[in-house]
Every structure is written in structure tokens, then in C-alpha cells.
Structure 1
Amino acid sequence: MAIHTGSLIRVLFVLLIVFFSIYFSSSPLTSIDNESTLDKVYSSLDLLEASRRRHQELETALVETRIEITDKLNEFSFHSSIPGSNIKTSEDLLKFRSYMECVTTKGKWVYDDTPRAFLIHKLEPLYGKCDSNFIPLNKNSSIEELWSNARNSIKYKWKTPNECPLPSFNRKDYCSLIAGKKILIVGDILSHQLHDLLIDYFHDGPVQCYERSCRNHILCPSPSDDDGLSSVMRYTRNDILSGKTAENLDRLEMKFLEQSWTHHVFRHNVLILNKGHHYQDDATFRSSFIQIVKYLRSNNPDTLLIFRSSTIGHSNCNVPNIKPLFNPYNDYELENLPYNWGEIHKQNMIAKEIIEAVGGVYWNIENVMETRVDDHVGGRDCLRWCIPGPSDICLV
């Protein structure tokens, strides 16, 4: 992979490969073969019309977004670089984006029953619900014993084409890659699951933390006497990425949880942002996101900004023994999903235009997770996945 091994690759590798590598091995693969679980009670004309509408709505949204970017973000120009990384030329930028596009859109889920290590969840008990009926094994059990007791849902791997292979690393490698990185994660409870995944991977035991916010966690200690080389993570919950501060918390919209977070930014050199599943119309979503990234880039010119895409929910996630979908939902099915889930892709594309306009990175996990209807926490929660499970690989 002909990409500079600078700070951008270090951060994204630890966020992609940490969860990819535990599934990565050279064993035989079997394709998923089940049908979509949504009832197909529509005609080909219905599907055609839905596709036309969704395409037109997306094109209109992107045109409006580009107009507002030109108007409000015209002081920024990042056609050949990504601040906070070693990507400084248009060639390197193109290679990086092409690689990320390949990894996230050209892969497929395959079933592989070859025994291998997987994450052990140590924190929020909600994410362990899927294992509540499994007999806990001794901590000294072999990989084979743990594997034979594991759910089938964790035995799928994300297989990418030869043009964008996934490297394999261990925890020591990861710590070397993210040395000196101070990571701030801001978003809703789905971002909190990303926080839990990182803790599960880098820590051998549980830590005390909560969904509303969490103190700094050292992911990796400094490899030397220089404390600045330690890697640190912090999570703050703000459902819509508002710039609320302690002084204006009395003017919050009560339907959202908006913890103040911008005062933490100066202590961090990597920001991972997500606006979550708290629906706003396109104009509000677009304008508010432009406002916050303009503030962030103006005041933090060297910080690496990453927007983590949202994933669609799966309304039939409580079906027993359900498997990953063979195909993602089509346009008609997406239009008929509840809770504005059908709007997720369009607003992800809006966010992509905006974050890249200020030299940030769009981290696409929407495509990776769109068929993983299985292994959700369940009950009334068809957004988050159990740990270990699909989220190990793409971080909901």
C-alpha cells in the first residue's frame, strides 16, 4: 500500500485494523447465502420509483451542501492534504481515499469457522446480552474451547479484494502506530460503543465509565520517559455535535443530550465525530455541522478530524437465529424503514462533503454494517451490536 505511514494512517489503522485483524486469517471462506428478511410486497415499478426519488433527493442535497460549503467554508482549501497527517500531496490523498473506499465498499462478509482469538467484553453489560445464555468458560481455556462456545455471528469476517488487503497487527504494533495520539470521541451512545471497543481491546480488565461522558483512558503507555508519547482516549456524549458550553446548557433541547465538549478539544490531536441517530432535517443537519467544523478547523488547524458515518437500523433484529443479509436493503425497503433510517445514507453523504472540505476524513462504516441485521443488542435497540460481534470490525 503506497501510502505514507504518518499519523493519519496510524490512527485509522488502529480504528480499522484493531477490529479487522482479529478476524483476518488465511482460512477457507464460505459466502453468505440467505435472502433479505424484509417482506417483498412491492412491484418492480415501486422499486423503480423509489430509486428515482432517492437519487434525486441525494443529488439535490449534495448540490445544496456544496453551495453552502462555498459560502461558509471558502477560507479552507485542502485539495492535496489532510491536517494532522503526513498526507501532503494530491497523489497521496487520492491513494488514501481510494484505499479507504475499496476497503469499506468492495468487501463482503464471509463465514469462517476456523478457531481464532476474539474480543472479550469487560464493560457495559448491555453489550454482553447475546452471551447471557452461554456457559462461561475458564479464563485459561484454549482458543479452540472459546471458539467452540462462541456465537456463530462472530465467525463472519470482512473479506476485501486483493487490491486493498487488510494488514494484520497485534496490540504492540497498534500501540506503536498511535503513540502520542490524544483521541477525543464525541457523539451519541453509538460513539460510546466505539469507546467500549477500544477499552476492550487495549485494557486487560474493566474500567469504570458511563454513557454520558468518560474521563481520559490511557490506551497505551508511553514507550519511553516522555509522557507525551502515551496514547489517550476520552469520550463525551453530545447527540447532535452542538457547540453547547457550560454557560448555555440552560438552553438545551431536552430531546437531545448535549454535554459540553469543545473545551476539551485543545488537549487532543485526533477528533472522531458522529451526529448519531437523533434526526434533524437536511438543512439543520447541514448548517449545524458546517458551523461546528468551521469552528474546529479555525481553532485547531493541525488536528486530525474524522467523521464516523452512521449505520442504518434493522427493524427485524429480534428474529431468533437471524443471519447477515445476502443483499443490503433496496431503495423501496429503505424508504419504508421506521425512525428516518432511510435518511441515513443521504446525511452521511452530506457529512462527507463537509468534513472533506475542511481537510478531514470520512470514515465509512455504513456500507460495512448494512447487512449485519444479526447480533444486535435487541429488545428496543436495533442500532447497537453485542460485543464481541459485528461491531468489533466496524465500530457502530
Structure 2
Amino acid sequence: MGSKTHLSFGLLCACLALLVASLHGITTERFHHANKNKQHNNGTAGRRDQSKRISCDFFQGSWVYDDTYPLYDSSSCPFVEPEFDCQKHGRPDKLYLKYRWMPNACDLPRFNGKDFLERWRGKKIMFVGDSISQNQWESLACMLHASVPYARTSFTRSKTPWTLTFEDYGVSVLFYRSTYLVDIISGPRGRVLKLDSIEGGKEWLGYDVLIFNTWHWWTHTGKSQPWDYVQDGGQVLKDMDRLQAFSKGLTTWAKWINYNINPAATKVFFQGISPTHYRGSDWGEPTAGDCSKQTQPVSGSTYSGGPVPGQGIVKNVLSTISKPVYLLDITLLSQLRKDAHPSKYSGDHPGMDCSHWCLAGLPDTWNQILYAALFNKK
């Protein structure tokens, strides 16, 4: 009897042990399954968040008042040329200095010049283009100088390129003037704009960052154009459709990028088309003849004047380049700033200047976006 009781008790213990093990296995499996789902969901959310950050569009948004602006005082910047120094040359209002660009889907990081210089220590950055490139170059020079006002600098502008070096960081910021990017050659018949020649490109090699721009002069005609003939392949013409010429010249530049740029060594940007404000009807004020007396941006995120004709050409040509080129698509956000031009408050530009931009001012935002894109700040 005692033997049977002992056997039954042992069998009961074994059954209980199997039941506990089974329950533990189920519980363990549920835990692992739940944890796996949690990891999967977190990974999906993480990828979604990362995708949102990567796809953030800095170029769609609106202008908002911000009393912490401007980012520097033009009177304290030794690199501002008279044509952009609106406060020095009598502009009476200052409201235009107080606007910050706010993208719709993300925050544009505030510019940190010391961080810029630390991250890009020992590097060389060159702006290549016309006076709009000069506008942006001077803006970046002032923004960096304001961030490290006591840093040692050297500056030469006796010939192209202009070179500003922040000696304590070994960072050089240069401006190389090239109105069309392609060449203008003087010969027996006069000055010839050569749409298929870019010999000047030899001067752009060996830099860590290149920021290109051209458009401003392609539509100039008569005495204001700096060439007498245009050469398209084997044809030398007195003139041609300017948008077609722009497309051909930009295509020559695109081929130069494909052939000469090593993306591992050089980052390439193209400064999008900078607009002008000579017709108030473009922003919904038909009685305004130009940018004179404009003191505030266009409200909202749309511009009634529509895109600039060259924008489509820029995007089409950039799409043919096999090397990575970042488009600083600044046209719309600049179109909204009818208030940001020197107008009559320019030291070197006669008449009404609704093409260039006051400093401090709009080009500072272009450089904020450059800063964000250069260092992948979202």
C-alpha cells in the first residue's frame, strides 16, 4: 500500500513538473513574440522617423517675425561691400531684418558658425558665379565672423578668387567670379560667349565644397550684356534664344561636373535661381512698380508671379548629372522677400536695385540651409 502511494505521489510530481515547464515555455514564447513585435514596431517607427527627417523640404514654408534676428550686424562685418550694406547707405526701416524662414514640415537649424568651422577644419569652400554668388559669399563671411569675432583672419581680394581664411581653423571661403560658368573669349571679332567651353573650370579643382550659380546675366541684352557674339558649336551667332543658350551653357557645366568631380572629395551645390522684384503685379500689388518702399515679406507660402523661367532648365540639367549635386532651391522663399532688396539704398549700384539683397538679410537664410545640408542637420 505504501509502495503504491509513493508511486502515485511521484507520478503526480512528474505531471506537475511537465505542466510547469509547458506553461513556462508558453510564457517564454509569448514574451519573445511580444518583444520581437516591439522591436519590429520600434524599427518601423524609427525608419519612418528617419524617412521623415531625410525627406524634410527646407524650401517650402513661410516667413515669420523673430526678434532674435538678424544673425549679425552689418556694421561689425568687414566683408560687406557697399552695394549690399543697406543700413549704412540710408535704409530707414529695419523690420526686414527680423524675419526667419520657417519650413512647413521641420525646423531649420539655427546657424552655428563655430560648429561650422570646427566641422570643416582645414577645408576650402568656393562660391563660383556672378554677383548673386558674391552676395551669398559675403553673407557667409559675415555669419562666420560674427560667430568667432576674435579669430585670426586673412583676406585677399586683389584678384579672383577672393579668399577669406579663418587662420585658427584653417578654413578658407573663396569667391570666384564667373558670370556664365562657361567662357567668354576676346578675339578679333570681339567678345564671344562660348556655350561649349569651360576652360575656367581648371580653377575650381581641388576644393572640398563648390557652390555654383548662374542665371542673373543670361537675360541681359544690349549694352548691359558683356559679350558681342555667342558661339554654339561651330556656329557663331549675333544672338539666340536666351533660355536655349542658358540650357546649353548649363549642360556644358553639367558635363564638367560629371568628368571632373570626385564625390568622395568634393561636395557640390547649385544655388537656385535668385528672383527679382521689378513688377508689383508679380506679388499682387499692381500699383507697386518695383521693390521700393517694400518693408514686409509676402505672407503665406505661395507667390502669385509663378516660377522663374530658368527653374525648369536648372532641374532638367541637374537630372542629367551622375554625380551628387544638391540644389539650394531658394527661388520661392526668395520670391516672398520683396522687402529684402537694397532698392535705392546701395552704395555701388546706381538706380533701383531689386536684384541683389541687403546684408544682413535674405542670403543668410540661404547659408542656413547650406549649413543644414552640408552637415545633414534636420
Structure 2: runs of 5+ lacking an equivalent: 1-47, 219-240, 279-288, 344-350, 371-378
CA offset at residue 208 of structure 1? 5.4
Task: Provide runs of 4+ in structure 1 moved above 6 Å.
Answer: 93-97
Q: Could you report, residue by residue, the CA deviation over 1:115-146 in whole angstroms, capped at 9, with x for unpaired residues?
A: 775342432011113443379xxxxxxxxxxx
Q: Secondary structure at the match of 1:383?
A: coil
> Does 1:109 pair with 2:72?
no
CA offset at residue 308 of structure 1? 0.8
CA offset at residue 325 of structure 1? 1.2
Q: Could you report, residue by residue, the CA deviation over 1:182-239 in whole angstroms, capped at 9, with x for unpaired residues?
A: 22211111001111112212234895537x83333214633xxxxxxx2222211111
**Alignment partner, residue 42 of structure 1:** none
CA offset at residue 369 of structure 1? 0.9
Q: 2:118, 2:364 → 1: CA distance?
A: 21
| Alignment equivalent of 1:326, drawn from 271, 296, 299 | 299
Q: Secondary structure at the match of 1:202?
A: helix
**Alignment partner, residue 176 of structure 2:** 236
**Alignment partner, residue 221 of structure 1:** 168
- Superposed counterparts of 1:16-165, under 5 Å: 98-99=55-56, 102-105=57-60, 107-114=61-68, 117-120=71-74, 121-122=77-78, 123-133=80-90, 151-161=94-104, 163-165=105-107
Q: 1:389, 1:110 → 2: CA distance?
A: 14
Give the letter for the 2:255 counterpart. Answer: K
Note closer, same or farther for the CA distance 1:300–1:380 as it changes in structure 2 (3 Å cut).
same
Please say if residues 238 and 260 of structure 1, whose CA atoms lie closer than 8 Å, have aligned partners that are also in contact.
no
Q: Could you report, residue by residue, the CA deviation over 1:300-320 in whole angstroms, capped at 9, with x for unpaired residues?
A: 323222111012110144432
Please say if residues 238 and 259 of structure 1, whose CA atoms lie closer than 8 Å, have aligned partners that are also in contact.
no
Q: Which has the higher contact order (CA 8 A, sep 6+)?
A: 1
Q: Secondary structure at the match of 1:158?
A: strand
- Superposed counterparts of 1:284-299, under 5 Å: 284-299=245-260
Q: Could you report, residue by residue, the CA deviation over 1:277-303 in whole angstroms, capped at 9, with x for unpaired residues?
A: 122633332232222222233123232
| Alignment equivalent of 1:343, drawn from 302, 305, 309 | 309
Note closer, same or farther for the CA distance 1:175–1:287 as it changes in structure 2 (3 Å cut).
same
CA offset at residue 96 of structure 1? 7.6
**Alignment partner, residue 360 of structure 1:** 325
> Does 1:307 pair with 2:270?
yes
- Superposed counterparts of 1:136-285, under 5 Å: 151-161=94-104, 163-203=105-145, 204=149, 207=155, 209=157, 213-219=160-166, 221-222=168-169, 230-243=170-183, 248-250=185-187, 252-253=191-192, 261-279=200-218, 281-285=242-246
Give the letter for the 2:273 counterpart. Answer: S
Give the letter for the 2:63 counterpart. Answer: W
Q: Could you report, residue by residue, the CA deviation over 1:60-108 in whole angstroms, capped at 9, with x for unpaired residues?
A: xxxxxxxxxxxxxxxxxxxxxxxxxxxxxxx9x9878623xx1111x21
Please say if residues 84 and 359 of structure 2, whose CA atoms lie closer than 8 Å, have aligned partners that are also in contact.
yes
Q: Secondary structure at the match of 1:113?
A: coil
Q: 1:252, 1:273 → 2: CA distance?
A: 23
Note closer, same or farther for the CA distance 1:354–1:189 as it changes in structure 2 (3 Å cut).
farther
Give the letter for the 1:394 counterpart. Answer: W
Q: 1:275, 1:96 → 2: CA distance?
A: 30
Give the letter for the 2:316 counterpart. Answer: I
- Superposed counterparts of 1:2-17, under 5 Å: none
**Alignment partner, residue 365 of structure 2:** 393
Q: 2:179, 2:65 → 1: CA distance?
A: 34
Q: Count residues in correspondence.
A: 267
CA offset at residue 351 of structure 1? 4.0
Larger radius of gyration: 2
CA offset at residue 242 of structure 1? 0.4
CA offset at residue 394 of structure 1? 2.0
Note closer, same or farther for the CA distance 1:373–1:270 as it changes in structure 2 (3 Å cut).
same
Q: 1:110, 1:252 → 2: CA distance?
A: 46
CA offset at residue 365 of structure 1? 0.9
Please say if residues 130 and 377 of structure 1, whose CA atoms lie closer than 8 Å, have aligned partners that are also in contact.
no
Note closer, same or farther for the CA distance 1:368–1:299 as it changes in structure 2 (3 Å cut).
same
Q: 1:243, 1:160 → 2: CA distance?
A: 37
Please say if residues 290 and 354 of structure 2, whose CA atoms lie closer than 8 Å, have aligned partners that are also in contact.
yes
* TM-score between the two structures when normalised by the length of structure 2: 0.60
